[in-house]
Amino acid sequence: MTIDQILVIIGSISFASWVAWYFWFSEKKAIMIKSGQDGFQEAVIKVKGGYSPDILIFETGKPIKLNFIREETAACSEEVIFSDFNKKATLTPYKTIPVELKIDQPGEYGFQCSMGMLKGKLIVH
């Protein structure tokens, strides 16, 4: 084996390791949302290849407003579904679409696109 081949193999293994760490083992950061003057716990979620932020923390019993901004036209991100609340919203590209919830029970509640590829989580305590 030549030195070039060895370097290509080492580089490929390093890159594959980084990809595995980034997508499967990196720590997800949760964002704590506080109430605004109108009483809503309000968050802006950008939709582009995923939800950002994708983990949000709220207080129980206070109204929640999630403002989704879809920054793409991919079919997968066209709809957001909150199956625990039997609620869904159609996300128009490049517009802000508000979704209001009131969660009275602490717990973890998921949301996702219609294909189940984009996922997020609301943590209520």
Q: 1 in a domain, yes or no?
A: no
Q: Which domain holds residue 104?
A: 31-124
Q: 117 in a domain, yes or no?
A: yes
Over the stretch 23-43, which tens digit does the pLDDT of each residue have? Answer: 666 556 788 998 888 899 999
Q: With 0-12 CB in 10 A as exposed, 13-18 as middle and 19+ as buried, what is 46?
A: middle
Domains in the chain, number:
1
Q: 39 in a domain, yes or no?
A: yes
Q: 26 in a domain, yes or no?
A: no
The answer to whether 52 and 71 are in contact (CB under 8 A) is: no
Over the stretch 56-89, which tens digit does the pLDDT of each residue have? Answer: 999 999 999 999 999 999 999 999 999 999 999 9
Report CA-CA distances (Å) from 17 to 3, 7, 8, 46, 52: 21, 15, 14, 28, 24
Give the pLDDT of residue 70: 98
CATH of the domain at 47: 2.60.40.420
